[in-house]
Amino acid sequence: MNDHFERYHCQMALPNFGERAQQRLQKAHVLIVGMGGLGCPAAQYLVAAGIGAIGIVDDDLVSLSNLHRQILFTPADVGLPKVEVALKRLQEQNPATQITPHKQRVTSSNALDLIKNVDLVIDGTDNFETKYLLNDACVLLGKPLVYGAIYQYEGQVSIWNAPQPDGTFSANYRDIFPDAENAQIPNCAEGGVIPTLAGIVGCMQANETIKYLAKSTDLLAGKLWMMNMQDGKTQVIHLKKSTTKITTLPESVATITRDELQHMEQGQYTLIDVRSREEHQAFHIGGENIPLDELNHYLDTLSLAKPIIFYCASGKRSAQAVRLIKSRFKVKAAFSLKGGVQGIKS
């Protein structure tokens, strides 16, 4: 008890916090999806604060381009699974926290199982498909989702689907961003991001998590917090209550890895680069070049006799291409190249 008191004394000394709130944190089970720029600082502060159990989900490996903002990792970790490295570092920080790694991608087939037994989910992902999937799974299971997003110099935080005193729920992601997956917004690798923004937004997500679990009444539920790092300005927008009805999970986009593609024989599949013509001319791995914004006009000319594999810089535009072709045709063999071609040398 003395060690417990000394470690958490500064937060237990806060007005309206105390030992009771600390006990709530120690009994809590949080799931963090995405151990990247947001998930790393969120996990570090939640472990430091004494959250009892944390699940971390990510199927990616540490790359050199991650290191400027994903602060759990070092150059020696490049090539290693993110969840394995994070597990080691977080456990060293606080051995009392039970940390469960999930080296897997969140899909429509496993999302509900991952979420059903936790108290709260933190969205540390960087793609719209997974954001919608997490949102819908949390709505179906009645779980709060702490949202975070970063782009260049701008960041956002909110708590989706939080229960309200009148029995309703706060706004969810689809209420506020119903068509985000169709927007042409680059991810961090394509559009860039200042590293300190990831730390601030990840810490804000951890802060809202602590407040929610400690039963604070002043949350970012029903609000959208926004920050611009260029001028330091912040603002909070008040949101309407949830009106979107969700009954099922969206189907996940099928992916194929670079290794799997290399082991396929040419002629067995159709390869399409959905990047711009300038990107294709600068470097490509073969296949036809049909930019994403032109793909809709070419769909009727595509042969569906063989599997179609779309690729882009990071996998975002190619995932949109898969959704587009599957919305038009009843085709099962359509894939997005996981991770795209970023990092491949010509």
How far is 36 from 45, CA to CA, in rounded Å?
A: 14
Q: What CATH number is given for 2-238 in this structure?
A: 3.40.50.720
The catalytically annotated residue of 10, 40, 188, 203 is 188
CATH 3.40.250.10 region(s) of the chain? 255-337
Pair 59, 110: CB distance under 8 Å: no
pLDDT at 160: 97
CATH 3.40.50.720 maps onto the chain at 2-238
Tell me, yes or no, if 138 is annotated catalytic: no
How far is residue 31's CA from residue 17's CA, in Å, rounded to a whole number? 23
| H, E, C per residue of 74-121 | CHHHCCCEHHHHHHHHHHHHCCCCEEEEECCCCCCCCHHHHHCCCCEE
40 among known catalytic residues: no
CA-CA distance, 93 to 332, in Å (whole number)? 45
Nearest CA among 189, 186, 195, 152 for reference residue 343: 189
Catalytic residue among 10, 40, 203, 312: 312
**Euclidean distance between CA atoms 322 and 127, whole angstroms:** 14
- Please give the chain's pLDDT, 346 residues, in tens: 456 778 999 999 999 999 999 999 999 999 999 999 999 999 999 999 999 999 999 999 999 999 999 999 999 999 999 999 999 999 999 999 999 999 999 999 999 999 999 999 999 999 898 999 999 999 999 999 999 999 999 999 999 999 998 889 999 999 999 987 666 666 676 678 999 999 999 999 999 999 999 999 899 999 999 999 999 999 999 998 888 889 989 888 889 998 899 889 888 899 999 999 999 999 999 999 999 999 988 888 888 888 999 999 888 899 889 988 888 887 778 999 988 988 675 4
| pLDDT at site 210 | 98
CATH T-level fold of 255-337: Oxidized Rhodanese; domain 1 (3.40.250)
pTM of the model: 0.87
